[in-house]
Amino acid sequence: MRLRQGQFSFLPDLTDDDIRTQAQYAIDNGWAVSVEYTDDPHPRNSYWEMWGHPMFDNPDAAAVVFEVNECRKEHGGKYIRVLAFDATAGWESIRMSFIVNRPAEEPGFRVVRQEVDGRSVRYTIESYAVREPEGQRYA
């Protein structure tokens, strides 16, 4: 199951050139671009691992593509996303987020039903990937 999170996730995978164009848009708007990776694709997992510092003072997006490729070398089998953080007062939040790398096999999620208080049922989802310990998910 293909993970749909963030921008462009219903489009075909972005090429390096697409990543550069998008990152350049963020930089031109004055947002700090950063690269993050994870092997826990749950939608509520907002804390991905940071790949280096956010790039506050790089005027050109080639640096972002460079870092994405460096990150792919190390974590090519995991999810990698590019974020753009807007520091202006009132926003102070992520303005862009898109996945630039995904594992070859994406096992998807299962629904877990929990019976509580009589006949009530609580639902939650769990990624099949996280049943393996960290570092052993996604081959």
Partner 1 sequence: MTEDPATEAPRPTSVDLAASFEESGVREVLQELDDTMIGLAPVKQRIKETAALLLVDQARRQMGLATETPTLHMSFTGNPGTGKTTVALKMADLLHRLGYVRKGHLVTVTRDDLVGQYIGHTAPKTKEVLKKAMGGVLFIDEAYYLYRPENERDYGQEAIEILLQVMENNRDDLVVILAGYADRMDRFFASNPGFRSRIAHHIEFPDYTDDELLQISEIMLDEQNYTFDPKARQAMAEYIVARREQPHFANARSIRNALDRARLRQANRLFQEATGPLDGPTLSTINESDIRASRVFRGGLDVDRPSQKEAAE
Check residue 12 for interaction with partner 1 (CB under 8 A). yes
Distance CA 115, CA 125 (A): 15
Could you count the other beta carbons within 10 Å of the beta carbon of residue 84? 23
Angle between helices 62-75 and 16-28 (to 10 degrees): 130
| Smallest distance, partner 1 to C-beta of residue 62, A | 4
The answer to whether 67 contacts partner 1 (rule: CB under 8 A) is yes
The contact mask relative to partner 1 for 95-124 (x = CB under 8 A, - = no) is ------------------------------
d(CA 82, CA 64): 8
Q: Does 14 bind partner 1 (CB under 8 A)?
A: yes
Strands of 76-130, DSSP E: 79-86, 93-101, 109-116, 120-127
Kindly state the smallest distance separating residue 51's Cβ from partner 1, in Å.
Answer: 12
Q: Which residues bind partner 1 (CB under 8 A)?
A: 11-12, 14-15, 17-18, 52, 55, 57-63, 66-67, 70
